[in-house]
Amino acid sequence: MRRKLVAGNWKMHGSLSENEALLSGLLAGMADVKAGVAVCVPFPYLAQVQSRLQGTPIAWGAQNVSQEAKGAFTGEVCASMLKDFSCAYVIVGHSERRAIYGETDGLVADKFAAVQAAGMTPIFCVGETLAEREAGVTQDVVSRQMDAVIAKCGVASLARAVVAYEPVWAIGTGVTASPEQAQAVHAFIRAKVRALDAGVAEGLVIQYGGSMKPNNAVELLGQPDIDGGLIGGAALNVDDFLAICRAG
Ligand code: PGA
């Protein structure tokens, strides 16, 4: 039985005082949450979440990482630095990084490898744009994105990773994939992995991301192949995020 994982992706939001209010609100409401819960925060706040969340049921992580181990890469942050702050998770390949910062499938695979080499779990994002969905190539796109990681790290690496299916057209738009649309892609992802390794496929946690809110979380998380959520906007509100966590 896969345990559901609900992860907040704070993106470029927060301040020391806002974070403190959010974290203390979340901690106060965790008693009846069965799902695993994590928050992925901006780099400067890792020390804050580490000291606030250590010893609590909420894990933490980052939203990006360098593919390099160390060196003259001004402005970059490497995986061992994230490990220093006891990050459990690192998001790699988010569509905003692919679209705005030009991250390619190959670069995302390198980042995935760097996260695992440092002993953390990548939350590996895949998903199609609206144009790709309308062109009927959703499965091809998701397959290509997954193949880059499988080619570099092997299918067994997915036993130590989380996959997040995030249709780009649903992110931050308020337009959610229907439970049927999401389930279809999740089932496709699992079947693709199953064809290579049935055991890895059964254990693989596949999150849905894209305008998951309290009013659609129960139905989405009730689908057989949806094992959690990667939550953007709703992760910034204590009540909304807790409601989604409780749906898991
Ligand atoms: P959203 O973001 O929940 O605001 O759509 C999800 C994500 O980008 O991970």
Query: Measuring CA to CA, which residue among 188, 166, 163 is closest to residue 175?
Result: 166
Q: 186 is in which domain, residue-wise?
A: 5-247
Average pLDDT over residues 4-28: 98
pLDDT above 70 covers a percentage of the chain that reads 100
CATH (domain of 216):
3.20.20.70
Look up 94 and say whether it is catalytic: yes
Q: How far apart are the first and last CA of the chain?
A: 13
Residue 51 Cα to ligand 1 middle (Å): 26
Regarding pTM above 0.75, the answer is yes
Residue 38 · residue 3 · CB < 8 Å: no
Look at the chain and report how many structural domains it folds into: 1
Residue 69 Cα to ligand 1 middle (Å): 28
Residue 129 Cα to ligand 1 middle (Å): 14
Give the mutation target among 125, 166, 220 for probing the ligand 1 site: most ligand atoms within 8 A of CB: 166
Residues with CB under 6 A from ligand 1: 9, 166, 171-172, 209-212, 230-234
Average pLDDT over residues 70-95: 98
Annotate 158-193 with b (16+ C-beta within 10 A) or e (fewer). beebbbbbbbbbbbeeeebbebeebbebbbbbbebb
Residue 72 Cα to ligand 1 middle (Å): 32
Residue 103 · residue 97 · CB < 8 Å: yes
Q: What Rg, from alpha-carbon coordinates, does the chain have?
A: 17
* Helix 16-28 with 238-247: angle, nearest 10 deg: 40
- Of residues 96, 132, 166, 186, which has the active-site annotation? 166
- Of residues 76, 94, 186, 202, which has the active-site annotation? 94
Residue 123 · residue 89 · CB < 8 Å: yes
Q: In this predicted structure, what is the pLDDT of residue 1?
A: 77
Q: How far is the C-alpha of 210 from the C-alpha of 125, rounded, in Å?
A: 11
* pLDDT tens profile 93-124: 999 999 999 999 999 999 999 999 999 999 99
